[in-house]
Structure 1
């Protein structure tokens, strides 16, 4: 569980359901925004979701893919294809991961906020 969810869990203690719902609405992450950011450039959705290590990896791989796709050492077709495949692969991974991570974040957030009800 990440630090933000732990913080919200502490904030939710002793609150009624209406206040807990407001907390959830305040801290939940938009799946659509995460996907759009990842579509704009791989890793941006992960930055929005607070997954900086994964975002850095995706950004570096996307840049490497772009660089390899632009290299023209005597028209080496294989490097161009490898670069394009790397970039497209990272782009797809970033978009799918943004959706999955936002969905998981929201589920963990909901469970952290409302788990107190199930313990009573």
Structure 2
């Protein structure tokens, strides 16, 4: 595993710890992909969260409600084509393709606190 991948995995493990500390009774299963730095957290309310960090300082946090297209909330910085004030960071609201500004920055220490607040409103 290359050094940047290790750094991405460390961010992922830190995000996992923060979620477990804040939402212990709502989490029903946690899966960490052994090949790619992806964390999948399944919650008791049938909500599934995917957290990904890569070796290019990119991230995504996606809250899935169902398998229907756009039935999700997604925060990421994978592209800078969106005209939002927080570019390249942006949020795709539930049931919408176009994004809005995002409070996320790719730092698990800050972002997981925001994600926990969002998730608590959904439970």
> What range describes the TM-score normalised by the shorter chain of this pair?
under 0.3
> Which structure has the larger Rg over C-alpha atoms?
1
Q: Which has the higher helix share?
A: 1
Q: Which has the higher strand share?
A: 2
Question: Using CA pairs below 8 Å that are at least 6 residues apart, which structure has the higher relative contact order?
Answer: 1
